[in-house]
Amino acid sequence: MNIRTRFAPSPTGFLHIGGARTALFSWAYARRHGGKFILRVEDTDVERSTVASVNAILESMKWLGIDWDEGPFFQMQRLPRYKEVAEQLIDAGHAYRCWMTREELDLLRESQVKQNLKPRYDGRWRPERAKAAGLVPPARAPVVRFRTPETGDIGWDDLVKGPISFPNQELDDLVILRADGVPTYNFGVVVDDLDMEITHVIRGDDHVNNTPRQIHIFNAIGKVLPAFAHLPMILGADGERLSKRHGAVSVTQYRDEGFLPEALLNYLARLGWSHGDSEVFPVAQLVEWFDFRHVSRSPAKFDPDKALWMNQQYIKNAGDARLAALVSPLLEAKAGPPLEKVIALLKDRANSLQHLAESARLFYVYEEPTAGKLAEALNDRTRPALQMLAQKLADTPWERKSLGAALSEVLKANGLKMPELAMPARLLITGRTQTPSLDAVLELLGRDLVLARFARHLGER
């Protein structure tokens, strides 16, 4: 079987974390089976769809490296096709034109609610009923409705959730084509999934309720059904559906907050799918392992701390040159040691590129220590030791090991412990008390700068 999957976003906002996870699983399934992955933009909600959103979605997918083989197709460019299929369905008796007005629908709904009935369209424009009731088509454009069976059940064997079925009674004759010729979601999706020869419909389980309607339409058109896989929702830590309230929810936001794409991909891969205890694995591994049996039936929880932890794992292992190129634009001042060397020193402890830039700043931006901090750091014990250190550093070979040895000698000669010397030394030469290992910092800053800063705060050498 030639596997064909698709991702079908509606361009009404950014690519949401949940959408990206759906895209990733759909893509991984196609890649796993040497199939094709199709991108289709469902832009029939004309009021809410924007070009900016289309661009954000494409950009996010490219950044994540989720590449597509066909598309992007745009539904609004396929209107004649939906009309054609709607006509075929009408001719075959599976669909019909309906002229019911909004006001009539409201009235119907009101009376149903009054009788404690579920509001639903009553099928009054089904041709045989309209005829019997003597309804005459008025002179305005009708919608097209699908004739849904009124008895029996409709179901499928979901690849994630197992068998699901709905009584047809719960489904009414849904509109498939609006009066302006734009298809509704349930119709556009079926025509497209058929035309694009989709074999596996993989999407969020918020669409489970739509699937029975779609299956009826598939059957009416008379083609083989695709398989359906409904992925569990992604919830925030509070158990509510993931939304802006939970912080960053768009892929671009994660990019802008300093995530590496492969880290976000890896984190997404673990949202609702697992492979034993594996946590950190490249996307190629996901492709090799991905299957629906290990997609969870219950919702996944989004944990921002774990996402950062994942990012840290990838930053730690990323190349210094690549990280330097990503961090460089985040630094306002760049005069100082080579950024790659600074990155090499700091990357083990950074959980985002921003965090890395923040730590790197100490090598490029000197923060003048306040008088209060200086007074605290310089006392009768530390001042002579720092002076001795400054003197020693004037002719110590400038590499980490010798610098470390010089520090040890000064500690010993003055009867101090490392923090007692390192804390004030850090303050004097970087303006901060928190830095990586002092010998490494000295090495990177260079002799001239270090001696100049010591001289500035300790007086003459």
242 contacts ligand GLU (rule: CB under 6 A): no
286 contacts ligand GLU (rule: CB under 6 A): no
Question: Whole-angstrom Cα distance, residue 457 to residue 439?
Answer: 20
Catalytic pick among 62, 131, 244, 401: 244
18 contacts ligand GLU (rule: CB under 6 A): no
If one counts every other C-beta atom within 10 angstroms of the C-beta of residue 291, the result is 12
| Least distance between ligand GLU and beta carbon 42 (Å) | 4
| Least distance between ligand GLU and beta carbon 187 (Å) | 12
In sequence order, what E strands does 124-193 have? 143-146, 153-158, 162-167, 175-177
Q: With respect to ligand GLU, which residue has the nearer C-beta, 5 or 435?
A: 5
| Least distance between ligand GLU and beta carbon 197 (Å) | 15
Total interface residues for ligand GLU by CB under 6 A: 7
| Least distance between ligand GLU and beta carbon 14 (Å) | 13
Question: Which of 4, 5, 9, 242 forms a contact with ligand GLU (CB under 6 A)?
Answer: 9
Task: Give the N- to C-terminal CA distance of the chain in Å, as an integer.
Answer: 80
Stretch that binds ligand GLU, among 6-14, 76-84, 136-144, 419-427 (CB under 6 A): 6-14
Q: With respect to ligand GLU, which residue has the nearer C-beta, 209 or 278?
A: 209
> What token pair was written down for 175?
């509109």
Q: With respect to ligand GLU, which residue has the nearer C-beta, 208 or 423?
A: 208
Stretch that binds ligand GLU, among 4-12, 79-87, 220-228, 363-371 (CB under 6 A): 4-12
The contact mask relative to ligand GLU for 206-225 (x = CB under 6 A, - = no) is -x------------------
Residue in 13, 4, 443, 437 with CA at minimum distance from that of residue 253: 13
Residue of minimal Cβ distance to ligand GLU:
203
Question: Whole-angstrom Cα distance, residue 173 to residue 145?
Answer: 6
Question: Which of 78, 161, 203, 453 forms a contact with ligand GLU (CB under 6 A)?
Answer: 203
| Least distance between ligand GLU and beta carbon 16 (Å) | 9
Q: With respect to ligand GLU, which residue has the nearer C-beta, 8 or 315?
A: 8
Question: Whole-angstrom Cα distance, residue 72 to residue 38?
Answer: 7
Residue 244: active-site member: yes
CA–CA distance from 217 to each of 41, 188, 458 (Å)? 20, 10, 83
| Least distance between ligand GLU and beta carbon 233 (Å) | 12
8 contacts ligand GLU (rule: CB under 6 A): yes
20 contacts ligand GLU (rule: CB under 6 A): no
Rama region for 415: left / alpha / beta (φ>0; ψ in -120 to 50; rest): left
Question: Which of 30, 143, 177, 189 forms a contact with ligand GLU (CB under 6 A)?
Answer: 189
CA–CA distance from 196 to each of 58, 78, 199, 242, 332 (Å)? 19, 12, 9, 31, 49
| Least distance between ligand GLU and beta carbon 133 (Å) | 36
Residue type, 147: R
* Contacts of residue 288, Cβ cutoff 8 Å, sequence gap at least 6: 32
Q: With respect to ligand GLU, which residue has the nearer C-beta, 209 or 317?
A: 209
Q: Pairing mode, if any, of strands 234-235 and 227-231?
A: unpaired
If one counts every other C-beta atom within 10 angstroms of the C-beta of residue 43, the result is 23
Name the DSSP letter for residue 148: -
Name the DSSP letter for residue 292: S
Stretch that binds ligand GLU, among 5-13, 103-111, 263-271, 278-286 (CB under 6 A): 5-13
Q: With respect to ligand GLU, which residue has the nearer C-beta, 10 or 285?
A: 10
The contact mask relative to ligand GLU for 36-75 (x = CB under 6 A, - = no) is ------x---------------------------------
Rama region for 443: left / alpha / beta (φ>0; ψ in -120 to 50; rest): alpha
Burial class (CB in 10 A: 0-12, 13-18, 19+), 131: exposed
User: Given the rule CB under 6 A, which residues bind ligand GLU?
Assistant: 8-10, 42, 189, 203, 207
Q: Which active-site residues does the annotation give?
A: 244
